[in-house]
Structure 1
Amino acid sequence: MPGIKLSGVTASFGGERVLGPLSLNLEPGERIALVGKSGAGKSTLIRLLYQQANNQASLIPQDLGLVHALPVFHNVYMARLDQHPNWYNVVTLIRPFKRERTEIGPLLEQLGMSEKVWATVASLSGGQRQRVAIARAIYRKANILLADEPVSALDGPMAHVVMSHLNDAYETSIVALHDVELALRYCHRIVGIQDGQIALDEASSRLSESDILPLY
Structure 2
Amino acid sequence: MLRLDGADLGYGGAPVLADVRLHVAPGERVALLGRSGSGKSTLLSALHGAAQARGLRVALVPQDAALVPQLSALRNVLMGRLDDHGAWRNLRTLVRPSAPDRAAALADLARVGLTPEADRAVEGLSGGQKQRVALARALHRGGELILGDEPLSAVDPRQSGALAEVLRAAFPTAILALHDVAIARAFATRVIGLRQGRFLFDLPVGDLDATRIEALYG
TM-score for the superposition, normalised by structure 2:
0.94
1:149 aligns to what? 150
2:127 aligns to what? 126
Matches for 1:7-26 after TM superposition, within 5 Å: 7-26=5-24
What is the percentage of aligned positions where both structures have the same residue?
A: 40
Give the CA deviation at 1:197.
1.5
Give the CA deviation at 1:213.
3.4
Give the CA deviation at 1:15.
4.2
| SS state at 1:161 partner | helix
1:171 aligns to what? 172
Q: Is the 8 A contact 2:78 2:94 kept in 1?
A: no
1:42 aligns to what? 40
| SS state at 2:215 partner | helix
1:29 aligns to what? 27
Q: Is the 8 A contact 1:32 1:173 kept in 2?
A: yes
Per-residue CA deviations over 1:118-149 (Å, capped at 9, x if unaligned) read 11111110000000000111111111111000
Q: Is the 8 A contact 1:21 1:197 kept in 2?
A: no
Q: Is the 8 A contact 2:2 2:51 kept in 1?
A: yes
Alpha-carbon distance between aligned partners in 1 of 2:211 and 2:134, rounded to the nearest angstrom: 31
Matched residue type, 2:86: P
Unpaired segments of 5 or more residues in structure 1? none
Q: Is the 8 A contact 1:180 1:209 kept in 2?
A: no
Per-residue CA deviations over 1:68-121 (Å, capped at 9, x if unaligned) read 111111111111001122221111122111111111112212211101111111
| SS state at 2:30 partner | strand
Alpha-carbon distance between aligned partners in 2 of 1:209 and 1:180, rounded to the nearest angstrom: 11
| SS state at 1:53 partner | helix
Alpha-carbon distance between aligned partners in 1 of 2:112 and 2:51, rounded to the nearest angstrom: 27
Alpha-carbon distance between aligned partners in 1 of 2:34 and 2:77, rounded to the nearest angstrom: 29
1:4 aligns to what? 2
Moved over 4 A (4+): none
Alpha-carbon distance between aligned partners in 2 of 1:202 and 1:28, rounded to the nearest angstrom: 16
Per-residue CA deviations over 1:34-81 (Å, capped at 9, x if unaligned) read 001110000010001001101522111101111111111111111100
Alpha-carbon distance between aligned partners in 2 of 1:95 and 1:209, rounded to the nearest angstrom: 52
1:110 aligns to what? 111
1:65 aligns to what? 66
Alpha-carbon distance between aligned partners in 1 of 2:13 and 2:108, rounded to the nearest angstrom: 44
1:93 aligns to what? 94
Q: Is the 8 A contact 2:108 2:137 kept in 1?
A: no
Unpaired segments of 5 or more residues in structure 2? none
TM-score for the superposition, normalised by structure 1:
0.95
Q: How many residues align?
A: 214
Alpha-carbon distance between aligned partners in 2 of 1:9 and 1:25, rounded to the nearest angstrom: 12
1:203 aligns to what? 204
